[in-house]
Structure 1
């Protein structure tokens, strides 16, 4: 696992598949985690947090941007080890709790070989342990991480995908609704590509400086302008 500092209060944890982000709240209020990687990553994440000065009890909230295994895989273990609250989009919460199976994506023809390759690479990954969801998130919800965090419903990749907009610091967490892999683009393997494209455009309209993706390097300067350019919108 690789650790990268994105901003003075934000770190990215990069795994063999996917990424998670640790946010240090101001004033010693604790930490938040956005996504948790594949199963069996909990100890590595806890070790990384310890290196950053965070004890297990300092982790206050775990937000899961969507229900896919490379984002929820270590959520149950981390929640048990830290007592952190787990938050996720309402439509994805039943999948995360293990109540219903993951809906399959509707693949574009060009996505089929990529999808098969990714799943072959993850064939030996242990199954995800179902995780409680303490709060189901929806459009317009607000979290308090020492600054306002606005929740955006951004369906398409999954039905319950959510993005997080830290309004004061200008940080956006997109989950897999946007990827920065070779280029900025809507994420692949969507349940509804038309919705996914609309969610990309919606996030591109935000005034943000930093964008953090589920796959690919964050943008740390002028992220909003870059997203609008990629979405074919006017850059202002």
Structure 2
């Protein structure tokens, strides 16, 4: 796992598949996504290097139910007691109570890409079902000691949630938007029309820094790039 500081209070944890983010709060820490199963020890070690004990991790915000984002959530929750937050429509899947919604593949190219990604993850264990302490809906204000808003952005999954920090102009998009090699609509969506609408919704926010589930972060000038990409999206 590679750790990169992005702002004064945000660090990116990059894994072989995807990435997660640590956010230092006025009191304690929050984690946005958790990577594939098995990354909990690395994440706890990285937080320790940043001066955070396990009990300092107060919140884990899961952007959606895919296992490269929720895979280490149950182990981290057990180790830290952190509150687990996720979109209301995705919570039953994260808890292991419901199956994932099938992907609506855009064509053969996306099926082939999905097969390639799956082949690279064949030896990764299945995620352990994880409790969800708070089911999020659009516009929910999080009590994190700073303005933090949950934004419902369905389409990648039914309950995908972005996290917006309006005071600092930071947006965590999950997999609804990627940066590979340019800002683009995320792949493997359950409903492309919803995903496109969610892209436009995020592009309308006041954003200077955009942090994605996959692809390079945009620290500074992100809003302009999101709006330019949205204008080209059909």
Q: Could you say whether these structures have the same fold, taking a TM-score greater than 0.5 normalized by the shorter chain as the test?
A: yes
Partner Cα distance (2:68, 2:190) in 1: 16
Partner of 1:48: 46
Partner Cα distance (2:149, 2:59) in 1: 15
Secondary structure in 2 matching 1:118? helix
Normalised TM-score (structure 1): 0.96
Partner of 1:197: 196
Secondary structure in 2 matching 1:232? helix
State the Cα distance separating 1:144 from its structure 2 match.
Answer: 2.5
Partner of 2:122: 123
Partner Cα distance (1:17, 1:204) in 2: 25
Secondary structure in 2 matching 1:50? helix
Structure 1 unmatched runs, 5+: none
Partner of 1:24: 24
Secondary structure in 1 matching 2:61? strand
Partner of 1:97: 95
Structure 2 unmatched runs, 5+: none
Partner of 2:163: 164
Equivalent residues, number = 231
Structure 1 contact 174–213 (Cα < 8 Å) conserved? yes
Secondary structure in 2 matching 1:148? coil
State the Cα distance separating 1:102 from its structure 2 match.
Answer: 1.4
Partner of 1:185: 184
Structure 1 contact 147–167 (Cα < 8 Å) conserved? no
Partner of 2:83: 85
State the Cα distance separating 1:59 from its structure 2 match.
Answer: 0.3
Structure 1 contact 177–187 (Cα < 8 Å) conserved? yes
State the Cα distance separating 1:147 from its structure 2 match.
Answer: 1.1
State the Cα distance separating 1:146 from its structure 2 match.
Answer: 2.2
Partner of 2:6: 6
Secondary structure in 2 matching 1:48? helix
Secondary structure in 1 matching 2:164? strand
RMSD (Å) for aligned C-alpha atoms: 0.8
Per-residue CA distance 1:153-184 (angstroms, 9 max, x = gap): 10000000000100111100000000001111
The within-5 A match list for 1:30-69 is 30-69=28-67
Structure 1 ranges of 4+ moved more than 2 A: none
Partner Cα distance (2:127, 2:76) in 1: 13
State the Cα distance separating 1:20 from its structure 2 match.
Answer: 0.4
Partner Cα distance (2:227, 2:196) in 1: 13
